[in-house]
Chains A and B, each alone.
Chain A
Amino acid sequence: DAKTTQPPSMDCAEGRAANLPCNHSTISGNEYVYWYRQIHSQGPQYIIHGLKNNETNEMASLIITEDRKSSTLILPHATLRDTAVYYCIVRPPPGTGNQFYFGTGTSLTVIP
């Protein structure tokens, strides 16, 4: 299973963009990158996923490097409610299981 490496913690000023990096240097060509977040012991919440191209939805943007060895989750205008632990996950190829392997994540604190 491809492993991910994330910084343990980050701070971001409210209203500014939060850029959360993730290293997944052993990712294989058909594995997707997923991002989830978990707010204070609630169940993890899906944010976004991608394979090769950059992706954007109403919550965030996902930038994946051309070699796919790293990615960045961008929260364009961070609010206090974005304070959470953010997990970068590499999903096994389709047909090999649907389980997600979480790391320790990045604890993001949005500062007023």
Chain B
Amino acid sequence: DAGVTQSPTHLIKTRGQHVTLRCSPISGHKSVSWYQQVLGQGPQFIFQYYEKEERGRGNFPDRFSARQFPNYSSELNVNALLLGDSALYLCASSLDLAGASYNEQFFGPGTRLTVL
């Protein structure tokens, strides 16, 4: 079975541009989360979506937005890029949210974004 896939793998943008990153969860997984990982730090939570609804948001500015589609794939959009947005963007999917005693998150390989 395919794991979590992300595209593109690498991306170079300039300041002020916008970017769209894409994520396809594991088949059957309804929850998708996005994380930003700056070099030398652990991943930082950005968004969680479940059944196309936003269920959680981290401490990120409004320049960051996301959505989830009926097939549970997801896009992360970042507007007005800053140099500090350069990072590895990780997508994770999980099977279910409500009522579960635990939900293992499966991470994709990430998209490496460089802002010049």
Q: How far is the CB of B56 from chain A (nearest CB, A)?
A: 4
Given contacts A43-B108, A44-B90, A98-B97, A105 and B48 within 8 Å (CB-CB): no
Please state if B48 and A99 are interface contacts (CB–CB under 8 Å).
Answer: yes
The residues of A that contact B110 with a CB separation of less than 8 Å are: 41-43
Q: Does A94 sit at the interface, judged by CB under 8 A?
A: yes
Q: Does A103 sit at the interface, judged by CB under 8 A?
A: yes
Q: Does B72 sit at the interface, judged by CB under 8 A?
A: no
Interface residue ranges of A83-112 to B (CB < 8 Å): 85, 87, 91, 94-95, 97-105
Please state if B97 and A102 are interface contacts (CB–CB under 8 Å).
Answer: no
Q: How far is the CB of A14 from chain B (nearest CB, A)?
A: 26
Number of A-B contacts (CB under 8 A): 66
Q: How far is the CB of B22 from chain A (nearest CB, A)?
A: 15
Please state if B104 and A49 are interface contacts (CB–CB under 8 Å).
Answer: yes
Please state if A98 and B42 are interface contacts (CB–CB under 8 Å).
Answer: no
- One of A43, A49, A97, A100 near B55 (C-beta < 8 A): A97
Please state if B48 and A102 are interface contacts (CB–CB under 8 Å).
Answer: no
Q: Does B65 sit at the interface, judged by CB under 8 A?
A: no
Q: Please report the C-alpha to C-alpha distance between residue A99 and residue B48 in the assembled complex, in whole angstroms.
A: 7
The residues of B that contact A41 with a CB separation of less than 8 Å are: 88, 110, 112
Please state if B99 and A95 are interface contacts (CB–CB under 8 Å).
Answer: yes
Please state if B108 and A95 are interface contacts (CB–CB under 8 Å).
Answer: no
Please state if B99 and A94 are interface contacts (CB–CB under 8 Å).
Answer: yes
Please state if B42 and A46 are interface contacts (CB–CB under 8 Å).
Answer: no
- One of A42, A85, A91, A97 near B102 (C-beta < 8 A): A91
A interface residues with partner B (beta carbon < 8 Å): 32, 41-46, 49, 85, 87, 91, 94-95, 97-105
